[in-house]
Amino acid sequence: MISGGKLKPLKQPKSGKKEYDEHDMELMQKKKDEEKALKELRAKASQKGSFGGSGLKKSGKK
């Protein structure tokens, strides 16, 4: 008899490869393309340094 402590949960059987239909494959491909585009934009932005204006400016008024 075990007293105290946590009981270990039973291990779940590993699921095999999932079956994807055409719609799922389209969504996955679209997501990959978006991630690739974002990565390229980040690379371009890092090469140019800061983009646009100079950020927030403080006014001289008190």
| Structural contact between residues 36 and 42, judged by C-beta atoms closer than 8 angstroms | no
The pLDDT assigned to 27 comes to 93
The pLDDT assigned to 56 comes to 62
The pLDDT assigned to 28 comes to 93
pTM comes to: 0.44
24-56 burial: b if 16+ Cβ within 10 Å, else e: eeeeeeeeeeeeeeeeeeeeeeeeeeeeeeeee
pLDDT tens digits along 1-39: 556 677 777 888 777 677 888 889 999 999 999 999 999
Please provide residue 50's backbone torsions phi and psi, each rounded to the nearest 5 degrees: -75, 145
